[in-house]
Amino acid sequence: MQEVFPVNSGNVPPPSVSTNLLSYQLAFNNNNHFQNNLKHRVLGLTSISSNTLDTANDLIAYAAGAVAVLYNHKRNKQIAFLYPPPTSTSFNVSGTSNISPVNNTNNPNNSIAQPLMMPIGNITSNNEHPTTNLTEEKKGITPASTRAKTISCLAFSPDGKYLAVGEMGHQPRIFIWDVKERTIFREFKAHKFGVLSLSFSPNMRYLVSVGFQHDGYLYVWDWKKGIKLAGNKVTSRVNAISFSKDGSFFVTAGLRHVKFWYLDSRGRMPKKGVGREMQVLDGRSGLLGVLRDANFVDVACDHNSGYTYFVTDSGILCIFKEGRVIDKWVNLQVKSAFSIAVSSIYVICTCSEGIIRLFEPVTLKYLGILPKPHPLGVDISAITSPDMIRSTDDTNVYPDAVAIVYDDVAQRITTVYSDRSLYIWDIHDLQKIGKYRSFIFHSDCVWGVEPCPTIESEGSIIPPNSFATFSGDGTIRIWNLDHPVHPSSSSPLTPHQLSPPLMTPSSSTMVSAQRRNIYSRELVKMLYVDPDAAEFMKQSKHPDYAEDQYPDFGIRSLKMSSDGKWMATGDRSGNLRLHCMKTWDLLGYQEAHDSEILSIDLTTGQDDTPSLVATASRDRLLHIFDLRSNCQLVQSLDDHSSSITAVKFSKDSNKLISCSADKGIIFRQRQHPVTPFHDASTPRPYITYHNHSGRGTVFDMALDVTGRYIATVTGERKLYVFSVDSGKPFR
């Protein structure tokens, strides 16, 4: 019988496939921010390759913006958030330190020994850097070189006691975290334009760092002393790095690039030169042969057989043997491949459309495939039981599996998919592969958070203490972190039971508050509001697009009524939508603005009080709609000269306040009844009674609980309080 995945000799050329660069090689999305709530949870991740995902000692480390999250999969708990203080001690390129490198935890002024869970944005003058500029010190401004940047790579030490974290951007730092003591053990910098990948040597002596292509350097560090021992320039685009079993060499893989960098037979740096002068590291290129034009996206050294495994973006898995020559290769039969993990039992490859294939080491014999994750564009919050899962549908679109790590002891695979979801698969038995854990997050930037009203009514699908997030992926997701009901997130999914029932983006299913879905314990409800964004997420992103070339989809603003009846949303195209929060049906739709809606507020009518929704946009217009008349336009205001950043109703809707980038705050009073806009015989309801002009852009504002005062924040980094009745500053 013919093999499904035939193994080919190293001199046989593979089928020609155009080389596509990975998304993380071209541009990172720096707008993806983390959300750290009162329960000390991070909902979301920014790991988009295996360089930002690692596991050791039951811990899984992944990136969430500038925070490295440590998750214990056995306890099902995020145990720590690694956020560097902005005043840590850096080691310069020669290996010398500005202050003593001793990690003295008893010294309160020693910035190396900082708590693991740093309060985000809480910077005190006691932790200032010794060389900080005095002017910046007086102003309380953190220098740009010491501000926390987005994490671009991380790696555990072989014993799991330390975690190395690298940053992206200009003048990035490398941190060595002591996981047990929850402190920064070392910090040093030498790269200029981002750290792409990190790897510890098996003997724990060295740390290797590779910069992005614009940086173009590779360094070997004595990380315990903070000294740069050796380095070399790398002109090719590098994607990954891996150490051999004995540490005698490590391998870098990239675009038309495979290079073996050699240490001595004991895994130590050969002594060359004099004193502390940095050595030039020796490297020899691999003989690519038929794969000379390939883009090698990941590499892994087998610590049992001594072979080195590579995977290309076109879906070719190959083995390099001694002599740096290709021994054999196999076609994964996928559109593209992203990462690889190697153990004594499996060679695991992650591919496009959620495909993860398993092969036998050395022989590359095909062993099987993992189940696919949830399909894109489906309300997964409605899937509350494995019985609701049916056989696969050819019309379903699945996210790409972009990153993987394998726990050889627990025999579990941790995978990150392109929609920013994280799955842990149990592969003890390939005939009974089970989903051990899974987490579903937003797949694009989160624009804001809105607390859900607490409604004490029978049959309410939103439990108390819930909150909603709205995102550039076109969805609104309601989360609740209190008392997860089902005891385990494990779910036996086989390759023949993959897909939940199909739903349109506007469809909705009542989910009982007493039972959560099987994919995410925290996710109560997921609503696809922007159909264009939902459809775009199903399509593969074009590799030649830069991040700023993607269409402006997504939900930009959201507001829920205090009585839990209505939810108003504004998208980046200027469209207003009104949903019923009991059935989630779309009640109204208006093409309200020519640009994105930056702020929304609504008032719930009681007795004679009207029910209105106000939308403020970047097109400097403010529109008022009547909820009771199918969102008909009531009034349009153009008294701002720049983007309107926030709008607020008073509780009785008698006053309407807006602020703008034109540095102004306008207070309005309702003096006439609410009538449709086309009724020219009646004056418009709201009239300005005070206009305050400040010195800086007003970014946001909030009413106090009594409704008597309103607080604003400006570009001057100041907070101002105004009296609502007079519109004048209170203090």
Tens-digit pLDDT profile for residues 1-44:
456 778 877 777 877 654 454 444 433 333 333 333 334 789 99
Least Cα distance to 656 among 627, 683, 688 occurs for 688
Helix/strand number for the chain, H first, E second: 3, 49
- 3-class secondary structure, 126: helix
CA distances from 93 to 215, 219, 287, 511 (A): 14, 10, 33, 57
How confident is the model over 536-582, as pLDDT tens digits? 776 655 444 455 556 678 899 999 998 888 999 999 999 999 998 88
Predicted pLDDT of residue 33 = 38
CA distances from 197 to 156, 174, 262 (A): 12, 11, 18
User: CB of 414 within 8 A of CB of 55?
Assistant: yes
For residues 679-700, one letter each, b for 16 or more C-beta atoms within 10 angstroms of the residue's C-beta and e for the rest, the string is eeeeebbbeeebebebeebbee
Does the pTM surpass 0.85? The reply is no
Is pLDDT of 256 > 50?
yes
Check residues 543 and 531 and name the one with the higher pLDDT: 531
- 3-class secondary structure, 217: strand
What is the number of residues in the chain?
731
How confident is the model over 358-383, as pLDDT tens digits? 999 999 999 999 999 988 888 887 77
Check residues 430 and 140 and name the one with the higher pLDDT: 430
For residues 139-154, one letter each, b for 16 or more C-beta atoms within 10 angstroms of the residue's C-beta and e for the rest, the string is eeebeeebebbbbbbb
User: CB of 408 within 8 A of CB of 343?
Assistant: yes
Q: At CB < 8 A and 24+ separation, what contacts does 38-43 make?
A: 39/481, 40/78, 40/81, 40/117, 41/78, 41/481, 41/522, 42/67, 42/69, 42/78, 42/81, 43/441, 43/469, 43/479, 43/522
Q: What is the mean pLDDT of residues 650-671?
A: 92
The CA distance from 423 to 429, in Å, is 17
Terminal CA-CA length for the chain? 84
Catalogue all structural domains in the chain, each as residue range(s) with its CATH number: 40-85+147-285 (2.130.10.10), 554-723 (2.130.10.10)
Least Cα distance to 520 among 405, 399, 402, 384 occurs for 384
Enter the DSSP assignment of 287: B
Round the CA-based radius of gyration of the chain to a whole number and report it: 28
- 3-class secondary structure, 339: strand
Is pLDDT of 626 > 50?
yes
Predicted pLDDT of residue 388 = 65
The CA distance from 275 to 278, in Å, is 9
Work out the mean pLDDT of the chain and round it to a whole number: 81
Q: Which of 49-63, 110-124, 312-326 has the highest mean pLDDT?
A: 49-63
Element (H, E) at 624: strand 622-626
Element (H, E) at 615: strand 612-617
The tokens for 216 are 């173009």
Enter the DSSP assignment of 581: T
CB atoms within 10 A of CB 252: 26
Q: Tell me the residue type at 697.
A: T
Predicted pLDDT of residue 619 = 93
How confident is the model over 382-405, as pLDDT tens digits? 777 666 665 445 678 899 999 999
